[in-house]
Structures are given as structure tokens and as C-alpha cells.
């Protein structure tokens, strides 16, 4: 019989003059490890899969070494507690205390001030995690291949709605609905994630390329301090955002790897190679054509933003050099009307059908040409 998953019962933080202490209470003892990463500085507590049933621990003052923290499932079999730092620290080996005084097992981690040089000397991604595992994908078939990327996931919640709903849950559900429709239309479909798991941005691009995808569709939901902002939008890649708002949105979404505690060292070279490859105009043209169809089809089932619903921004997930790609912001979770309708099955099903119709239009000339050739 499979053992029960340990339960995270509570989490506490104590800020002291000369150190900061984190305490995580668990129902069972677990094996864990702690490592640090720089650029930006952060501490990662890696745990096995646990069931998180804790109230959010008290927030740090932000004036000390700790800026913020988050926790949750990172991928199947693994959870993480990630601590973002204002200044370098030395992480002592964590203690695991046995149950006492009505409390469960307690993981105690103390962080002491140190120099940046000392922090950098000890920081680094563990060797077994330097090349993350990707989801298995099949080789190209005769059918068109569509990869659907549900944004965020696991430890990265994305945007939180005015009703406290989470972007990661909304887009995963929409990804499943869209996958079902596309499969009925005869496409081979892959999901970059099919559960509440975090996938690094670079890995999402790799999944699409390894699948020999004909299209990559990334699903997200937007937010804005102005609660009046509403409507869906579609983005294609540009090294320059179409406006400041687009650039700011791309910057926020591209922080996803930092949020999830992913090692970002050595990324620039790969990204630069990808951007060089993106000079291939055919990929850009195909992405633009799909975006135009999406704007038209989505406009029949939901509101679009009133100004320039097709926009461009430097989203990392759109940077596959040979895979036409779009990112769809389904609406604004910060807007009460958008948030309310996005929670309904009828709206989600309608949007899935609209996206599938745009995909059909994207491939219609090719499929018609192939059929004509077969007749001849």
C-alpha cells in the first residue's frame, strides 16, 4: 500500500537581530536538502511531495535579509520552500526535531548574515538538477501537432483573481478543454503540463521543439491595477513590446522561473541563439496569421481589449525559433466581470471552441493542398 503523503501543518518565521529562523511543521519526518542560488540571491528548501495545509506564515518585515518567500508543489514527487533575499546569508544545515508539546515534526532552518563573496562561493544548482527532466513527447506524426502551454503551475500561482481564484488553475482547466476539442478535430496534442506542476519557461519551449510542434499556444490570464481593464488579447513575439503595458506584462511573465527558484545561469547564450533563429520570417508570419485568426474567433465568444487586441511582446515562452507561437491572455482576473465569466464552464468551452476554430483556419490551406495532391 502506498504510504500517505506527509502533511505540512504550519510554517513560521522569526526575525532576530543576528539571524532569521524558519520553522516548518510536518506530520511525518522527511528527507530534504537546502541549497542557495545567486542572481538573484535565494535559498531553496527541497522536500518530497507534501500536502500543503498551512496558513500563510507571517510576512517578513522586508527590512532584513529576507524579502519574501513562497511554497508549494514544484513537480511530481517534489515540493519547495523558496526564500527570496535582500542580502546574502549563510544557511545552516536544517534540524528536524521530533514531535513534542502537541506539535509534529519540525524542520528548523537558521539564516545568518554573510558576504556576497561567501554566498557566491556556496551557491549553485545541485548537479542532479542542472538539466531538468522534460515531459516525454512523441516524434512527428502525419497529423498536425499542437502544444498547449498552461502558464504557471505548482509553486507559481500566477495572478490571483478578485474572487481569490488562481490563474494556474484557470489556464490548466482551459488547456484540458482545448486539448479535447483539438483532438476531436484530428490534431496530435501535447500539454507542457497536465497537472499542478511547475515547468520552467525554457523547458516549455524545449517540449514544443522536441514534439516537432506545428503550433505552440500558451494560455494565461491578465491583471491590472486598474480594475476597469477587461477583455482578452493575443500576443506574438517581438523583441520590443508594442507598448509599455505589453513590455511590463512580458517582464512579469518572464519572472516565472525566478519565482519558482529555477537556476537562470547560462541562459543568455541560448536565448541569443534563439533570437537569431527567429529572423526566419516564416515562423513570425505564421504566428501573426494565427494571432489574427484568434482575435477574430475569440471576438465571437468573449470581449477583447478595445485597443490593439493583437499585440507583441518579448515573452520567453514564445521564443522557439521554428515553432509558430502565440500567447493568449484570456481576460483580466482583476476585473470583476471578466473574473466571473472565466469561472463558468460555458465560457471556457466557448473559448476552447473558438481557439480550435482559429487553429483549423491556420492549417486549412495546407490541408486542402494535401488533399488535392492525394486526389491527383
d(CA 346, CA 7): 35
User: Closest by alpha carbon to 259, among 176, 161, 167, 187?
Assistant: 167
The answer to whether residues 324 and 290 touch, using CB atoms and an 8 Å cutoff, is yes
C-alpha cell at position 251: 517582464
Q: Quick check: 134 pLDDT over 60?
A: no
- Please state, in angstroms and as integers, the Cα–Cα distance from residue 77 to each residue in 98, 111, 198, 245, following that order: 23, 26, 12, 37
Q: pLDDT digits over 112-130, tens only?
A: 999 988 888 888 888 776 5
Average pLDDT value for residue range 97-105: 88
pLDDT computed for residue 137 by the predictor: 40
pLDDT computed for residue 253 by the predictor: 64
Residues contacting 158, CB < 8 A, separation 6+: 151, 152, 166, 167, 168, 171, 220, 221
pLDDT computed for residue 38 by the predictor: 84
Q: pLDDT digits over 233-271, tens only?
A: 999 987 555 566 556 666 666 666 555 555 545 544 444
What is the DSSP pairing of strand 145-150 with strand 215-222?
A: parallel
Output the DSSP codes for 240-300: S-SSHHHHHHHHHHTTHHHHTT---TTHHHHHHHHHHHTT-HHHHHHHHHHHHHHHHHHTT
Q: pLDDT digits over 61-92, tens only?
A: 777 888 888 888 887 788 898 888 999 999 88
The count of C-alpha atoms lying within 13 angstroms of the C-alpha of 94, restricted to the half-sphere facing its C-beta, is 25
Q: 0.75 exceeded by the pTM?
A: no
d(CA 355, CA 297): 7
Q: How confident is the model at residue 375 (pLDDT cuts 50, 70, 90)?
A: very low
* pLDDT mean across residues, the chain: 82
Output the DSSP codes for 43-67: EEEEEE--EE--PPPPPP-SSSSEE
Amino acid at each position: 500500500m502506498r504510504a500517505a503523503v506527509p502533511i505540512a501543518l504550519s510554517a513560521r518565521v522569526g526575525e532576530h537581530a543576528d539571524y532569521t529562523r524558519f520553522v516548518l511543521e510536518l506530520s511525518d519526518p522527511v528527507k530534504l536538502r537546502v541549497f542557495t542560488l545567486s542572481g538573484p540571491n535565494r535559498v531553496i528548501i527541497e522536500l518530497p511531495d507534501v500536502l500543503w495545509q498551512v496558513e500563510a506564515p507571517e510576512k517578513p518585515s522586508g527590512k532584513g535579509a529576507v524579502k519574501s518567500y513562497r511554497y508549494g508543489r514544484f513537480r511530481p514527487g517534489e515540493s519547495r520552500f523558496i526564500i527570496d533575499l535582500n542580502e546574502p546569508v549563510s544557511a545552516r544545515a536544517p534540524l528536524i526535531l521530533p514531535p513534542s508539546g502537541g506539535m509534529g515534526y519540525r524542520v528548523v532552518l537558521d539564516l545568518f548574515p554573510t558576504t556576497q563573496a561567501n554566498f557566491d562561493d556556496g551557491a549553485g544548482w545541485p548537479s542532479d538538477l542542472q538539466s531538468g527532466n522534460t515531459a516525454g513527447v512523441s516524434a512527428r506524426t502525419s497529423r498536425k501537432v499542437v502544444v498547449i502551454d498552461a502558464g504557471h503551475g505548482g509553486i507559481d500561482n500566477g495572478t490571483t483573481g478578485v474572487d481569490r481564484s488562481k490563474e494556474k488553475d484557470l489556464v490548466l482547466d482551459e488547456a484540458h478543454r482545448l486539448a479535447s476539442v483539438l483532438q476531436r478535430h484530428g490534431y496530435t496534442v501535447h500539454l507542457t503540463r497536465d497537472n499542478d506542476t511547475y515547468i520552467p519557461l525554457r523547458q516549455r519551449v524545449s517540449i514544443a521543439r522536441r514534439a516537432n510542434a506545428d503550433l505552440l499556444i500558451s494560455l494565461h490570464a491578465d491583471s491590472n491595477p486598474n480594475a476597469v481593464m477587461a477583455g482578452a488579447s493575443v500576443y506574438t513575439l517581438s523583441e520590443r513590446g508594442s507598448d509599455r503595458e505589453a513590455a511590463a506584462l512580458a517582464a512579469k511573465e518572464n519572472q516565472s522561473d525566478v519565482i519558482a527558484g529555477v537556476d537562470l545561469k547560462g541562459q543568455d547564450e541560448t536565448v541569443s541563439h534563439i533570437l537569431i533563429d527567429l529572423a526566419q520570417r516564416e515562423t513570425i508570419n505564421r504566428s501573426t496569421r494565427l494571432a489574427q485568426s484568434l482575435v477574430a474567433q475569440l471576438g465571437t465568444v468573449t470581449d477583447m481589449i478595445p485597443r490593439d487586441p493583437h499585440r507583441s511582446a518579448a515573452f520567453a515562452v514564445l521564443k522557439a525559433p521554428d515553432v509558430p507561437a502565440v500567447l493568449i491572455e484570456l481576460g483580466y482576473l482583476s476585473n470583476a466581470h471578466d473574473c466571473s465569466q472565466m469561472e463558468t464552464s460555458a465560457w471556457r468551452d466557448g473559448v476552447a471552441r473558438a481557439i480550435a476554430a482559429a487553429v483549423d483556419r491556420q492549417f486549412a490551406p495546407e490541408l486542402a493542398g494535401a488533399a488535392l495532391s492525394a486526389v491527383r
